[in-house]
């Protein structure tokens, strides 16, 4: 197999879910008794102009997260199945870590999808307490745990490391073998044909070699 594609597709939704969680939290705190604290934070970050639009912005980042999650999940499934076949099921530590990573990913998508759905009919796509809790659990803590497991798969178990290089090496070796075989065919020297051609040139049959020598 060529280089793994899942890592390249996973970082965008991970970034979006963490961004959405932050925006949800800021948007909610601005409507509670913690509003002065949130306002001060936004002022320090020079983001005061975004205050009225935070809930709408987080709604759209949720949509983007769901969109970019599709290729991440599909590539993850495609790369997980060969591992299950190789490991003989979800028995090894490596396979169990992949399974946990996948379950957290699914929970993240389901939770953020629910957030997006329930806020769709509200004025200004307002975020409420239940959605903030879901964002913090699956989009914050869950996403960080998922990223941690993904890092373990690479740095502890070496998943995908050097795979593209070994695949390229096998491809080159296969091509080299084909070139040698084609060259041998062009020269009439494939398999036992080497002996046969040599024998014909020297007037010696393979089965009659001893007789000829006598």
**Cα distance between residue 81 and residue 199, in whole Å:** 53
C-alpha separations of 67 from 17, 32, 93, 122 in Å: 12, 31, 31, 21
- Residue 66: pLDDT band by 50, 70, 90 thresholds? very high
- Residue 87: pLDDT band by 50, 70, 90 thresholds? confident
Instruction: Calculate mean pLDDT across residues 205-210.
Output: 47
Average pLDDT, rounded, for the chain: 79
Buried b / exposed e over 51-72, threshold 16 CB at 10 Å, is: eeebbbbbbebbbbbbebbebb
Contact 119, 127 (CB under 8 A): yes
Which position has the token pair 């990913």? Answer: 105
Q: Which pLDDT score is estimated for 30?
A: 80
Tell me how far the alpha carbon of residue 40 is from its chain's centroid. 38
pLDDT in tens, 92-143: 888 889 899 999 999 999 999 999 999 988 888 889 989 999 999 999 999 9
Q: Which residues, at least 6 apart from 197, have a Cβ–Cβ distance to it below 8 Å?
A: 188, 189
Angle at CA of residue 29, ends 20 and 66, nearest 5°: 15
Q: Which pLDDT score is estimated for 13?
A: 95
Q: Is the CA virtual torsion 172, 177, 180, 186 positive or negative?
A: negative
User: Structure pTM?
Assistant: 0.68
Tell me how far the alpha carbon of residue 191 is from its chain's centroid. 44
């Amino acid at each position: 197999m060529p280089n793994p594609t899942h890592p390249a597709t996973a970082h965008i939704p991970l970034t979006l879910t963490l961004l959405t969680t932050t925006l949800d939290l800021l948007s909610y705190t601005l409507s509670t008794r913690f509003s002065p604290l949130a306002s001060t934070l936004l002022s320090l970050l020079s983001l005061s102009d975004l205050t009225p639009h935070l809930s709408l912005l987080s709604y759209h980042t949720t949509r983007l997260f769901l969109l970019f999650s599709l290729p991440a999940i599909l590539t993850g499934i495609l790369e997980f199945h060969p591992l299950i076949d190789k490991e003989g099921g979800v028995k090894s530590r490596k396979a169990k870590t992949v399974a946990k990573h996948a379950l957290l990913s699914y929970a993240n998508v389901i939770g953020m999808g629910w957030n997006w759905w329930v806020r769709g009919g509200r004025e200004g796509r307002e975020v409420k307490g239940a959605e903030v809790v879901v964002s913090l659990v699956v989009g914050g803590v869950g996403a960080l745990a998922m990223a941690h497991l993904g890092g373990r798969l690479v740095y502890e178990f070496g998943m995908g490391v050097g795979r593209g290089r070994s695949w390229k090496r096998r491809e080159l070796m296969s091509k080299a073998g084909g070139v040698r075989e084609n060259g041998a065919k062009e020269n009439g020297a494939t398999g036992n044909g080497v002996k046969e051609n040599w024998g014909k040139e020297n007037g010696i049959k393979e089965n009659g070699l001893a007789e000829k020598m006598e």
